[in-house]
């Protein structure tokens, strides 16, 4: 298994910085939509409605997911700076490099992630 090493810091920092920008853009789009929505809430204009439909609409769920992922990205960047990046936060084992390349913000190894997902699923059922 290939694992993360300090020679990859710049590469992963660039990956995470790019993801951070994307997520910030999503959240700003959401804020802008909330602003314009309030400003003309009492004016119903069919032209405006048509334009809104064609815009990429960022809904509440998307914004929440983006905010959550942004937290993970920022935490991952802090771990990069502190030289703690690449190790699972739960078990402390090195995370597979392929997993990190696909999901640079992930704080868990594959095994611990599966446990967390099962816990979430169990909570959702109750």
**Site residues, Zn ion (CB under 5 A):** 88, 90-91, 109, 112
CB of 37 to Zn ion, least distance (A): 42
Q: Which is nearer to Zn ion, 8 or 109 (CB)?
A: 109
Pairwise CA distance, residues 62 & 30, whole Å: 9
Q: C-alpha angle with apex 28: 64 to 26, nearest 5 degrees?
A: 55
CB of 93 to Zn ion, least distance (A): 5
Number of helical (H) and strand (E) elements in the chain, helices listed first:
5, 0
Rg (CA), the chain: 19
CB of 89 to Zn ion, least distance (A): 8
Quick one: which of 63, 67, 40 has its CA closest to 51?
40
Q: Which is nearer to Zn ion, 27 or 97 (CB)?
A: 97
Q: Which is nearer to Zn ion, 26 or 95 (CB)?
A: 95
């Amino acid at each position: 298994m290939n694992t993360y090493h300090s020679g990859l810091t710049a590469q992963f920092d660039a990956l995470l910085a790019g993801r951070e920008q994307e997520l910030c853009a999503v959240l700003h789009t959401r804020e802008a939509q909330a602003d314009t929505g309030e400003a003309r809430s009492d004016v119903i204009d069919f032209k405006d409605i048509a334009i809104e439909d064609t815009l990429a609409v960022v809904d509440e769920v998307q914004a929440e997911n983006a905010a959550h992922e942004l937290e993970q990205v920022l935490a991952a960047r802090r771990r990069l700076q502190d030289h703690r990046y690449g190790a699972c936060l739960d078990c402390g084992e090195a995370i597979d490099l392929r997993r990190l390349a696909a999901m640079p913000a992930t704080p868990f190894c594959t095994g611990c992630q599966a446990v967390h997902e099962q816990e979430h699923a169990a909570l959702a059922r109750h």
